[in-house]
Chain A
Amino acid sequence: MFKNHKVILTGLTLGLIVVIIASVCIGAVHISLAQFWSIVTYHTGISKVATFTSQQMAVLLSLRLPRVMLGVIIGAALAISGASLQGLFRNPLAEPGLIGISSGATLAAALMIVFGGSLLNTMGSIYGYYALAIAAFTGAFITTLTVYRMAMHNGKTVITALLLTGIAINALAFAFTGLLTYLSTDEQLRNITFWSLGSLGGASWISLGSVAPFIAIPLIGLPFLGKSLNAIALGETQAGHMGVNVARTKRLVIVLATMAVGASVAVAGIISFIGLVIPHILRMAFGSDNRLVLPASAILGGAALTLADLISRTIVAPAELPIGIVTALGGSPVFIYMILSQLKKQQI
């Protein structure tokens, strides 16, 4: 198995850059590679010649670029939080969507929209996004703690308890979010529906700027926990014997992962399977060393979500598919395969 971490990470980053360039160029307004290059050089002052139309430039800068960047950071956030939660729960099936963290965040965001609506309006859009992100984070955090308490017994994840708790929380959050739709105005209703389907359609420089800090902290912090999570894979007691402060690692993973998931849900709603499938593919290809899997998940997750978004906005153009449909179509077969292979190993 090929294991040079630097080479793998560089390769994935190159892939991510290709996907980014493809995504900003393809769409209703077509931009050729040469024109893309011209826009870049014109704006950085390298070249004075503009071989592109002003419409192309406007589309690229104010529509596609923020959307693609949002896709990159949200994909990265979802994949890295999935990978780190799987390390903490010692099970590859722990995924923010499956175990109810995303729906906990959605419920909290919906509560904020319906009951804090006037507050959001007076705060203006950027602070409104902050408030939503914090609400979603709080929802995600409470859910994670609940799930962790219910699923862990003597340092071992009871996988049935984990998944059943996820089902229960998903159902509960879905019911409450449904109730809220009866209390909400038309505009609030549209917002809530958008949350439960998942979309990058609301992307703008403002939404990007408001969630970027909430995602940057986990993206920088979580890779440092790779070693501790590797040790926890041997068991919490064993990790303690190896000098890992298990309680501190747990707290950090839960806070950072829920921060990333909360922020993603606040701007893009529930996007499932990224946190499950991306780390799994990496483990299959390069082994389970979290020192590689965590940063690599972030890069591949960013690329995968950007690609999924590209498909969702071009395949039925001029209409747009909810991105959740695309990630589910790509993700659920991998999920089924994972269940089958775990059944074979008798780990369920």
Chain B
Amino acid sequence: MIAVKDISYSVGRKQILNKVSFNIASGEMLAVIGANGAGKSTLLKLLCREVVSTSGGISFNEKDIALYSIKELAMIRSVLTQHNTVSVMFSVKELVLMGRYPHFENTPSANDIEVMHKAMEETGITHLAERDYNTLSGGEQQRVQLARVIAQIYDQPNAFLFLDEPTNGLDLLYQQQILQLARNMANRGYTVISILHDINFASRYADKILILKNGETVAFGEPLQVINCDNIHNAFNIHVKLMDCEGFKCPLVIPSGILV
């Protein structure tokens, strides 16, 4: 589980996050949504300990993240960032195996190899195993990267998976595949936090939604509680219509104009 308590982060005089708090239990998936510049990426950086909060604290499994070593963190938490460019030629297999780097010194164990194969199977990239990463399409590359981060925590119970806009630039099929994979990870007991732009995807796949605006929490809770016209108006400065649709637990959000 992840507990975030009153974290604030500022650069100079600019307050980027202001007293954000939430708790996420193991097996839950949290979607973070909000307009550009709302502080979503900063929140993820704080969770990854790339930057340190000005005040407030974050704990993983009731242990303050400042107390973990780099290596311990890498064993229980993996991150799919945006913009994954690989500078040299690596095969898909080699790249996925890199996810196991925190777990072996020089030679991967039989277990590491098995995890690599399972992660490739789950993400549907086994047929690409020998291909050069740089020759793949955007959607394939994203699935390879996801396989790598899944492999990193595959055999670690109570681990954490963070995704930064994992569906960016992908077509509808790939978007759903990626989110379904994230959902499956949550169902297996992982704590998943994903930044998303699409509100409808967020309410469909996530257990909890956090809406941010200018670094402050607009709403936090289950999709049915937080997805309403007021909150969306407030966070995105747009008019929306909500529409119930058969087969969806939460009403769909349809943008209907700019708020003036």
A interface residues (Cβ-Cβ under 8 A, vs B): 1, 90-92, 227, 230-231, 233-235, 237-238, 240-245, 283, 287-289, 291, 345
Contacts and interface: CB of A to CB of B under 8 A. Distances in A.
A288 B73 contact: no
Interface of B: 48, 50, 70-71, 73-75, 77-79, 81, 83-91, 94-95, 98-99, 101-102, 106, 130, 134, 152
A241 B88 contact: no
A241 B45 CA distance: 11
A288 B88 contact: yes
Contacts of A90: 87-88
Which of A91, A237, A242, A291 gathers the greatest number of chain B CB atoms within 10 Å?
Answer: A242
Main secondary structure of the interface of A (DSSP, over half): loop
5 contacts: A230-B98, A238-B81, A241-B74, A242-B74, A245-B70
A58 B81 CA distance: 63
A287 B89 contact: yes
Given A287-B94, A289-B94, A242 B102 contact: yes
A134 to B, nearest CB: 32
A235 B94 contact: no
Given A243-B102, A245-B70, A287 B85 contact: no
Contacts of A241: 48, 74, 77-79, 81
Contacts of A283: 88-89
Nearest to A229: B88
A231 B95 CA distance: 9
Nearest to B75: A243
Given A242-B101, A244-B101, A235 B74 contact: no
A241 B98 CA distance: 12
Contact of B84 (A230, A231, A235): A235
Contacts of A227: 101, 106
A233 B78 CA distance: 17
Contacts of B102: 242-243
Contacts of B94: 230, 287, 289
A242 B98 contact: yes
A233 B90 contact: yes
B84 A238 contact: yes
A240 B69 CA distance: 12
B81 A289 contact: no
B87 A91 contact: yes
Contacts of B134: 345
